[in-house]
Structure 1
Amino acid sequence: MSKNKKIFSALALMGMAIFIMAFASMPAAGSKEITITNLVKESGKFDDDYVMTQGLLIKDSIQWDADKLELRFEIYDENETVLQVFHKGVQPDNFTDDVIVIVEGFFQDDGIFEAEKVMTKCPSKYEGEDMENYDGEMHKELFNDSQE
């Protein structure tokens, strides 16, 4: 094999190795999107799987410990199935009643979802409407339509 072919082969292998390491180090790349109902009903099926789910926030369930940076809350889906969530990190700014919350992480044996990422999605924020005119019922309809 010529010297140029050896160098090209070595560079190609190094490039593939870097790509594989970068892709494997991103847990979200291997996440499965599961509905809350399926996650709760078939919890054993997702042991050790990095999953993503979304639901509407139950504002009364929020427990925020700023000293420990621990956040506990509940979300529910269109079937009214409730999921308890624990997150070690910062609380999102727009945590309001019926905001869509997207969580990524692991479903634990004790029935609590341990979220590594917590994101919120608020249509009124992206449509340029002010929060004083926020329509929670419209938000629920949009959420339910996105689940179908």
Structure 2
Amino acid sequence: MKKNTKVILGGSTVILSILILLIAATPGASGTELPIHQVLANAEKYEGRYVTTEGFLVESSIDWRADEIELRFDIVDNDGNILSVYHHGVRPDNFSEGVITILEGYIVPGEPFQAERVKTKCPSKYEGEDPNNYDPEFHKELLDDKTSN
């Protein structure tokens, strides 16, 4: 076999291996983003597919079992659709009423949503004020006060 043929064959094998690893390592890349009402209405259609959905946490539904590292809870959308969720993993920080909860996982018809990842968005109290209300004079006064101390 010629040297060029060996190099091309070896390089192709390396590139193919890297592509296979990338595809296998990113199940979310082939996932589907769905609103809660579609998850509930079409559970059979999306069974076994990696799905992302989000809703508002219902704090009264939280069942955290630290010994088993199991978390069960409900999320609700703006239309009042409720999705029950099961997550085998740690409880996220700032897990409280009304926080937006993002779920990634699988749908099993007749069972709670099987969440592999549970993330929360920061509550609005951490968001900045409207930039249109910015007062440069007030900011200048604050800086002057700090530099004079």
- Classify the TM-score, shorter chain: 0.7 to 0.9
Deviates more, 1:108-117 or 1:80-89: 108-117
The separation in 1 between residues aligned to 2:99 and 2:75, in whole angstroms, is 9
- Please tell me the root mean square deviation across aligned C-alpha atoms, in Å: 1.8
Secondary structure class of the residue paired with 1:52: strand
User: TM-score, normalised to structure 1's length?
Assistant: 0.79
- Counterpart residue number, 2:32: 32
**Which is higher, the Rg of structure 1 or of structure 2?**
2
The separation in 2 between residues aligned to 1:41 and 1:7, in whole angstroms, is 53
Contact persistence 1:52–1:102 (CA under 8 A): yes
1:5-60, Cα deviation, whole Å (9 max, x unpaired) = 43133213321222222222322121110110001011111111111100000011
Question: CA separation of 1:30/1:126 partners in 2, compared to 1, >3 Å: closer, same or farther?
Answer: farther
- Count of aligned residue pairs for this structure pair: 129
User: TM-score, normalised to structure 2's length?
Assistant: 0.78
The separation in 2 between residues aligned to 1:14 and 1:126, in whole angstroms, is 46
Residue pairs, 1:1-148, within 5 angstroms: 2-124=2-124, 127=127
Secondary structure class of the residue paired with 1:43: coil
Cα offset, 1:90, TM superposition: 0.2
- Counterpart residue number, 2:144: none
Gaps of 5+ in 2: 130-149
Letter in 2 for 1:90: V
Cα offset, 1:110, TM superposition: 1.8
Secondary structure class of the residue paired with 1:23: helix
